[in-house]
Structure 1
Amino acid sequence: MPTKTKPGKPEKGSLRLVCIGDTHGFHRRLSVPAGDILIHSGDFDGRTIEEVDDFNAWLGSLPFRHKLVIAGNHDLLFDRKPKLARAHLTEAIYLQDSGVRLEGMNFWGSPVNSVIGEEWAFGVERGASMRKHWDRIPEDTDVLITHEAPYGTLDKNDILGRYHGCQNLLGALLRVKPKLHVFGHIHGGHGRESAWNMTLVNCAVVNNRRILTHAPTVIELIR
């Protein structure tokens, strides 16, 4: 069941968020800067218990106050055997169409994506089926974490390529207007942009050839 956010006055100051995604088993090769909250936007390659255990042990070695993780289309164990997978991810808060309130801010995460097939995880047809997931995002969300990218922003695999993002997710962004949207999935779209009074971050750390290329993205977020 989704974790309901609780009302209350936000704490003052700023939060240092360190955002990573699409690590695809390279997590131990990352140089992770210090911060308050670590966010992983999916595709750590959680296909087996052994892979989840290794990822979890690595998370446990990182000195963040909070760690938030969502799954992606490669994290099959979380789709096929969710209770087992979650039992082995003890060093982070796992979000799946659910939210949590931390440090005076509301976070919401979803692993759904448009990659369909038996070999993939959390695939949903675009249109009405996917829109049902985005419609669940609360309007008081401060930080939205998805694996899927929104249409038209940081969702190209190369500068001359087509947009791969979801138009319904873009619609949800314009409805909710979070302070920050963190996503990945489209490796070639790595970067940061500001639009509609939001910060949007594609934090994929590998490139299109799945070579570790990018450092974690650090966001100073005013509460």
Structure 2
Amino acid sequence: MTNIVHRVAGWFFSGNSGMEDVGSIKVYKNTNHPTKAWSEISVKQTVNKVVPLSPDTPISVDKLRVVCISDTHTKIEAVPKIVPDGDILIHAGDFTNVGLANEVKKFNAFLGSLSHQVKIVIAGNHDLTFDDEMVNNRRDYLRRNFGVSEKGFEQLLETYNVQHVKELLTNCVYLEDAGIDVCGVHIYGSPWQPEFCDWGFNLPRGEKCLEKWNLIPSSTDILITHGPPIGHGDACFDKNRAGCVELLSTIQQRVKPKYHIFGHIHEGYGVTSDGHTTYINASTCTLRYRPDHAPVVFDYPVPEGHMKDELLKISPQRLIRSAFH
């Protein structure tokens, strides 16, 4: 399957065209110290806990049932019944442990067993082989630290008759700094997060992260990132914060999505709201890597002029750094 870099009917490619005032978002002075940063800005922030929708709630014809999971780490395939039915499944990254091809194949088969009409997936820091910079320039690092040898990796790709591990995801829409229009709802996905133990899709805090957030279209309704924003679902077991200040600023000041879905910090699982955006840490695995957290479910009203029948027109495809218009 070849990379899709052009407009396809039903797909949403509206990235930053240069007309949006992305320059108004500034790097926070203490962005490199997220716990301190949050203590400073939290006095002007609203963080309300939200009780998610029960998966037993009947699915409506005028609403899209969205089911959110993340950080499954090859564990959920053994308990597929944990995932409730819905129209759209969203996975916010870390579906593997280190990105091995056999892990991806297993995950893809799991996705194929689910009934959701549209399945949307982004990568996370554990999905190492999805990070092109690591694969192209840090092969020795992958081999020494994660046992992903170049020879073994290439042999598996050859066995599966693909050139890139991303091609193994045939049962979902894969988003990497790209978006899709689903029944008039604009969904955008980005795998990046501030540096975290030198795993995949890591960027220095501040300007480098902000460059990625500047790509998020202002018309995004549902945002998917792997890492959390500061202050929402980002508190680690030691009470330190891991979220990104600039991500929160981008969400609150420019993009203003209805929902933001992420994972990464397993112990941050849960749902909160700032009064406009609902933040969902959908980590399936606990801190001990047990798949004990239930998927988070919500309903999104089908926008006027659209129908749920449009779901049938969306076929699994790969979107890799799609061209923005």
TM-score scaled by structure 2?
Answer: 0.63
Mean Cα deviation higher: 137-146 or 46-55:
46-55
Deviations 1:16-35 (A, max 9, x none): 10000000111212411000
How many equivalent residue pairs? 216
**Conservation of the 8 A alpha-carbon contact between 2:177 and 2:190:** yes
Structure with higher strand content: 1
Q: Does structure 1 residue 194 correspond to structure 2 residue 243?
A: no
1:90 to 170, 181, 185: 170
CA–CA separation in structure 2 for the residues paired with 1:93 and 1:157: 30
Name the CA distance, whole Å, in 2 between partners of 1:216 and 1:13: 22
Residues 113-152 of structure 1 aligned to structure 2 (within 5 Å): 113-116=193-196, 120-152=199-231
1:22–1:205 Cα contact (<8 Å) kept: yes
The equivalent residue for 1:20 is 69
Change (3 A) 1:117 1:208: closer
Specify which structure has the bigger relative contact order, considering alpha-carbon pairs within 8 angstroms and separated by 6 or more residues.
Answer: 2
Dislocated runs of 4+, deviation >3 Å = 80-83, 115-118
Question: Which of the pair is proportionally richer in helix?
Answer: 2
Aligned-residue offset at 1:210: 1.4
CA-to-aligned-CA distance 1:50-105 (integer Å, 9 cap, x gap): 11111001101111110000000000111145961221101000001111111110
CA deviation string 1:180-221 (max 9, x = no partner): 100000111100112131111000011112122211111112
Identity rate, percent: 42
TM-score under structure 1 length normalisation: 0.91
Q: CA deviation at 1:113?
A: 1.4
Whose radius of gyration is greater, 1 or 2? Answer: 2
Q: Which amino acid aligns with 2:173?
A: I
Structure 2 gap ranges (5+) = 7-11, 16-60, 137-162, 303-325
Give matches, 1:11-160, under 5 Å: 13-28=62-77, 29-30=79-80, 31-45=82-96, 47-80=99-132, 81=135, 84-116=164-196, 120-158=199-237
* Equivalence for 1:161: 239
Contact 2:195–2:205, Cα closer than 8 Å, also in 1: no
Matches of 2:185 and 2:239, distance apart in 1: 36
Q: Would you say the 8 A contact 2:91–2:120 is kept in 1?
A: yes
Gaps of 5+ in 1: 7-11
